[in-house]
Structure formats: C-alpha cells, structure tokens
Amino acid sequence: MKSRHLVFLGPPASGKGTQGRRLADDQGLAYLSTGALLRQALRNQTELGERARPYLDRGEFVPDEIMVPMVLEWVGHQENGWLLDGFPRTLPQAEALDEALSEEPRAIILHVPDEELRRRVACRLECVDCHRVAREGEGPTCPTCGGRLEPRADDASSNFENRLQEYRRLVLPTISYYCRKGRARIVNGTGSPDEVYGRVKG
C-alpha cells in the first residue's frame, strides 16, 4: 500500500494493534488506536470516557456521534500521513472520513478465524501506559515502557462474544464498502507476528 492514509480493520484480537503500530513505525505514519484512546479516557474519567462507558461495559461499539468528531479532530492535526487502528467501524464513519479528506484512505483487513480469536483473548495482556499488547508469561511489566501488564476488561468471555457479534453487524458492511470501491486488501492474519507482517507489507 502506497497511500499515506491507511485504515486497519479486523475482528477483535485479530492483531490490528500489533501490525498497525509496526507498519506505522516503518512508514513514518502517525498511529491512532481508537480502542486505546477510549480505554485511556475511561481511566482518566474524561467526559468522552463517561459517555462511552455504558457501551464499552456492554461490549458494544461506541456510537458514531462520539467517535467521528474525535477521530476527525485527530486526523486534522496530522500532516505526514496516518494509520487508524479500528476506525472506521461503521459505514457512516467510513463515509464521514471520505467526505472529510482530499485523499481517500485505503483499507487493510485482517482475517482470522473465530476459534483463533478466542484462543488469543484467553491469554492477552495490555500495558496500562503504552497499550502494547503482550501475552501471559512475558512478565508483570511491559518490555517497551516498564508499565504494568493487565488483562483487558473487554476480553472477558461474554464481553468478547458481544464484540464479535457487533463486529459482524457493523464492520462487515464497512469492509464491503472499501472492497466495492477497490480500496481494500484482505490479509491472512494467522501465523506468527512476523509472518503476518510480511503479508501486511505485501
């Protein structure tokens, strides 16, 4: 992908954060994880976090009226290209992003079977400071910044299943939108992180 505006889409635990951060670093793109941004807002008890809390507690996606202005404000401050991890999640979000930009973004979609996703969330940890995703056995602290590693609340079994259903209901039409416009590339997200990244770079 040669575009300087990229969106990373895929089901929960598909590796969007791991692969998106790596690609952004390699290509010198600003990186935004909307999930990490929302979790930080929850911890800080910001107005955005409190508005989003009921949806996140139920394992539902946060409504467009909260997410779109936040992301568009961030995008408007980036001058040298960007990568969005997990946004747009709905068709209206994708349309709003296209309308706000002079250069239409391209989408990278990670495909991972459901059973593999469930296996991954069973042992996933995240740094409370830099939001790096880790695995059980890596130790109590983040190898990147030294922050504390904790399980993600949204990885609880019932919550994760809700998120997976929401993904099918809301995100699959968004993926179809990018495919119809010829601006999508679907990548096999199974295998080691290095194997998947080789496919992502394409």
In this predicted model, what pLDDT tens digit does every residue of 143-161 receive, in sequence order? 889 898 887 766 667 788 8
| Domain containing residue 61 | 5-114+158-201
Judge contact between 132 and 126, C-beta under 8 A: yes
Residue 11 lies in a domain: yes
Say whether 89 is catalytic.
Answer: yes
Say whether 163 is catalytic.
Answer: yes
Residue 139 lies in a domain: no
Residue 129 lies in a domain: no
CATH number of the domain at 33, please: 3.40.50.300
Q: Which of 21, 22, 120, 152 is catalytic?
A: 152
Residue 182 lies in a domain: yes
Residue 15 lies in a domain: yes
- Interatomic CA distance for residues 88 and 8, integer angstroms: 9
Say whether 118 is catalytic.
Answer: no
Where do runs of H (alpha helix) occur along 81-156? Answer: 91-100, 114-121
Residue 151 lies in a domain: no
Strands 5-9 and 133-135: unpaired
Q: Which of 89, 106, 120, 132 is catalytic?
A: 89
Q: Which of 39, 106, 124, 132 is catalytic?
A: 124
Instruction: Give the number of C-alpha atoms closer than 13 A to the C-alpha of residue 91, restricted to the C-beta side.
Output: 10
Domains identified in the chain, total number: 1
Residue 30 lies in a domain: yes
Residue 120 lies in a domain: no
**Which of these ranges, 74-78, 122-126, 153-157, has the smallest mean pLDDT?**
153-157
In this predicted model, what pLDDT tens digit does every residue of 33-72 receive, in sequence order? 887 778 878 888 888 789 989 988 887 878 998 889 888 8
In this predicted model, what pLDDT tens digit does every residue of 179-195 receive, in sequence order? 999 999 999 999 999 99
